[in-house]
Amino acid sequence: MDLWTYEREQWNHGFSTLCGVDEAGAGPLAGPVYAAAVILPGELDLPGLNDSKKLTPKKRETLFDQITAAAEAYSIAFVTAEEIDQMDILNARMLAMNRAIGGLSVPPDLCLIDGNRDHGSAVAITAPHLCLVGGDGKSASIAAASILAKVSRDRYVTDVLDREYPQYQFARHKGYGTKLHYAMLDQYGPCPAHRRTFLKKWEDKRT
């Protein structure tokens, strides 16, 4: 599939500087949610570029280096577990994307946002944008953003959280609600990196 179709449409409408935006880590029980915003040179050829979920970790790492080297601008941002608990995950996702867009060194004319949501109850995407359902598999810019967000979050969970709290084995499950993760929660209880609002069903079972 040609991943530049949506970008070409917007270029033809007069939007010259397009930015892809995506987030990673909305579902896990622990750790931050990450977002990335990427402005790629037009028609940049990145062999294997695709939705980050369809790529191997090794391929994602390779593409991460190629994207950050070639991008006209990129920005990676996150919202902490504590902030997620304060506002809910939808608002946190919007805030992470706003932070990523705001961190770009080049202001985009239009942002292509993965998914069908551009606002929560308290936070909305403020930059000019279009939502694209399944965008990480349809748009080169969004696919690139999905890779930067996913790799950045995986690195944080593996390099920081796993070392701070080795008993939970975060490097193995990346904070998702796997059987192993729940077993570690049963044994050790939650740590400061856990999203307490995501643990209500688990806590109810224990009481």
DSSP string of 183-203? HHHHHH---TTB-GGG-HHHH
Contact status, residue 19 vs residue 39, Cβ threshold 8 Å: yes
Per residue in 160-188, pLDDT tens?
Answer: 999 999 999 999 999 999 999 999 999 99
Label each residue of 50-90 as H, E or C. Answer: CCHHHCCHHHHHHHHHHHHHHCCEEEEEEECHHHHHHHCHH
Q: Given this model, what pLDDT does residue 19 score?
A: 98
Q: Given this model, what pLDDT does residue 97 score?
A: 98
Q: Are strands 73-79 and 129-132 parallel, antiparallel or unpaired?
A: unpaired
Count CB neighbours of 1 within 10 A. 7
Question: pTM above the 0.85 mark?
Answer: yes
Q: Given this model, what pLDDT does residue 72 score?
A: 98
Q: Given this model, what pLDDT does residue 205 score?
A: 87
Q: Given this model, what pLDDT does residue 207 score?
A: 74
Cα dihedral angle (92, 93, 98, 104), rounded to 10 degrees? 120
Q: Given this model, what pLDDT does residue 148 score?
A: 98
Query: Which residue ranges of the chain lie beneath pLDDT 70?
Result: 1
Q: Are strands 129-132 and 110-114 parallel, antiparallel or unpaired?
A: parallel
